A = this chain, B = another copy of it.
Amino acid sequence: MIAPDIKREFINIVGEENFEDSEVERLVYSYDATPNFQSIPDAVVSPRNTEEVSKILQLCNENKIPIVPRGSGTNLCAGTCPVEGGIVLLFKHMNKILEIDEENLTVTCQPGVITLDLIHAVEQKGLFYPPDPSSMKISTIGGNINENSGGLRGLKYGVTRDYVLGLEAVLPNGEIVRTGGKLAKDVAGYDLTRLFIGSEGTLGVITEATLKLIPLPESKKTMLALFQDLEAAARSVSKIIANKVIPATLEFLDQPTLKVVEDYSQIGLPTDVQAVLLIEQDGTPENVSKDMKVMEEICRSENAVSVQIAQSEEEAEALRTARRTALSALARLAPTTILEDATVPRSEIAKMVKAINEIAAKHNVKICTFGHAGDGNLHPTCTTDIRKKDEMERVEKAFAEIFAKAIELGGTITGEHGVGAMKAPYLEWKLGKSGIDVMKSIKAALDPNNIMNPGKLFAKDTRKRVVISK
């Protein structure tokens, strides 16, 4: 609990109405989109500007109160679960788009702006902000930066990191730093901008961001390729890239995912095939047509059952929306949905999908797989029930094997969801002890009192490595 005198100080900073510590409010912010993680914060604080954030951090630093910065809490790594209590910092007042600069192709905004609102605002000016996490309807730019969010357009356009030109951030000691700017090039010192991106709120609080925009592509086409052979679908992905076509989107859905997505979205998706590739290309109409033709031929050469181009933007949008709802659709199947994020070099996708299916069968758990095939970024998703203790143990064993397999194939434990509390025990598998040690030393240097989102990234115990049965 927060002592009364400190509570008074918080209220002095943000005002009575922006400090909440009722039981209801604290319960609301005790969890995020990650299943199986819940922890009650001591209070919920909503600063109105950077100066208030600075004062809050000073106060917390002096009193060693944990701070969990939170956007919309859509992350899937328990990144915003207040595992050590303290205050949850909300950005509901700091949610403005400050400037769209058409000459420098930048947008400057506060952390609480909803991702899709920003995308729509810049599209009005013929500009394009590509990062599009599936949660973009509710996720915030601040959350996206803290998690270095990816999305469906990552293959061609990169991830959030590739679009952040400058940040204003408040350090744990309350000092305000500004990094980068409206600059295509800036090498003045260490890359603090990118150190903050993906740091999951463990190094400071981002209070403003300047993002890079690009011209909005002229046109776009969407195609669905159906396969009876899952590995043929995966091979098509590799072949497309190896043929030097980089589509805007190259998504993969396996049969179980397809079934639930169709059941949920009712747009006439086929449910009798083993795998589907959802492919999009954007650019000039000529380039789009040319690339679509090459990709269609590749899919056919891999014995695709059917390859269909969406006949209208409505049809295309329905396909994209269906794909984005995969998590919601799967969530209807069982009380608990655990969506994971194992990522491999794209040449290894076929092997990885096969391994996931074998691992699921071995442990008798239900895992569907979909994801950003072009990035090698797969989302094996387990539908289960956290109340069934025995099953949950098997689920955990299965995911441990999936992470181990991803690393064995040259991959990583997380492509775009982050480490948070959930994957902290596995981080050492990817980084080794020396990698973890370096990161811990950076954390200690910037946040010696460990007030910023404690309990994330670094686990008290590392899981033992599993040996994968061949």
From B104, B126, B147, B284, give the contact of A187 (CB < 8 A).
B147
Binding stretch for chain B, among A9-17, A19-27, A169-177, A256-264? A169-177
**Per-residue interface assignment for chain A, residues 69 to 104, with 1 indicating a CB less than 8 Å from any chain B CB and 0 otherwise:** 000000000000000000000000000000001111
* A148, A344, A415, A434 pick with most chain B CB within 10 angstroms: A434
Query: Does chain B have a CB within 8 A of A41?
Result: no
Query: Which residues from B are CB-within-8-Å of A419?
Result: 187-189
Chain B: CB-nearest residue to A105:
B241
* A159, A186, A347, A442 pick with most chain B CB within 10 angstroms: A186
The complex places the Cα of A370 from the Cα of B432 at a distance, in Å, of 46
**Per-residue interface assignment for chain A, residues 416 to 453, with 1 indicating a CB less than 8 Å from any chain B CB and 0 otherwise:** 11110001000100111011111101111110000000
| Known A184-B374, A189-B430, A442-B446; 6 more pairs at CB < 8 Å | A159-B185, A177-B434, A178-B435, A181-B345, A185-B415, A187-B416
A140 to chain B, nearest CB (A): 17
Is the CB–CB distance between A186 and B412 below 8 Å?
A: yes
Query: Does chain B have a CB within 8 A of A389?
Result: no
Is the CB–CB distance between A446 and B441 below 8 Å?
A: yes
The complex places the Cα of A446 from the Cα of B431 at a distance, in Å, of 16
Query: Does chain B have a CB within 8 A of A214?
Result: yes
Query: Which residues from B are CB-within-8-Å of A203?
Result: 190
From B127, B284, B411, give the contact of A183 (CB < 8 A).
B411
Query: Which residues from B are CB-within-8-Å of A216?
Result: 244
Chain B: CB-nearest residue to A165:
B345
Query: Does chain B have a CB within 8 A of A47?
Result: no
Binding stretch for chain B, among A59-67, A194-202, A310-318, A354-362? A194-202
Query: Which residues from B are CB-within-8-Å of A245?
Result: 215
Is the CB–CB distance between A103 and B189 below 8 Å?
A: no
Q: State the A residues within 8 Å of B (CB).
A: 101-105, 126-127, 147-148, 150, 154-155, 159, 161-162, 171, 175-179, 181-192, 194-195, 197-199, 203, 214-216, 238, 241-242, 244-246, 284, 286-287, 290, 343-347, 372, 374-377, 410-419, 423, 427, 430-432, 434-439, 441-446, 457
Query: Which residues from B are CB-within-8-Å of A412?
Result: 181, 183, 185-188
Is the CB–CB distance between B345 and A375 below 8 Å?
A: no
Query: Which residues from B are CB-within-8-Å of A214?
Result: 246
Is the CB–CB distance between A189 and B345 below 8 Å?
A: no
Query: Which residues from B are CB-within-8-Å of A443?
Result: 190
The complex places the Cα of A101 from the Cα of B175 at a distance, in Å, of 45
Query: Which residues from B are CB-within-8-Å of A198?
Result: 187, 190-191
Chain B: CB-nearest residue to A284:
B287
Is the CB–CB distance between B187 and A418 below 8 Å?
A: yes
Chain B: CB-nearest residue to A189:
B439
Is the CB–CB distance between B177 and A438 below 8 Å?
A: yes
The complex places the Cα of A237 from the Cα of B414 at a distance, in Å, of 40
Is the CB–CB distance between B442 and A190 below 8 Å?
A: yes
Is the CB–CB distance between B439 and A346 below 8 Å?
A: no
* 7 shortest interchain CB distances as A-B pairs: A215-B244, A185-B415, A441-B445, A184-B375, A175-B434, A182-B345, A194-B194
Is the CB–CB distance between A435 and B187 below 8 Å?
A: no
Query: Which residues from B are CB-within-8-Å of A150?
Result: 185
Is the CB–CB distance between A189 and B427 below 8 Å?
A: yes
* A183, A186, A187, A242 pick with most chain B CB within 10 angstroms: A187
Query: Which residues from B are CB-within-8-Å of A343?
Result: 183-186
Query: Which residues from B are CB-within-8-Å of A104?
Result: 241, 345-347
Chain B: CB-nearest residue to A155:
B184
Question: Given A103-B242, A105-B241, is A372 in contact with B177 using a C-beta cutoff of 8 Å?
Answer: no
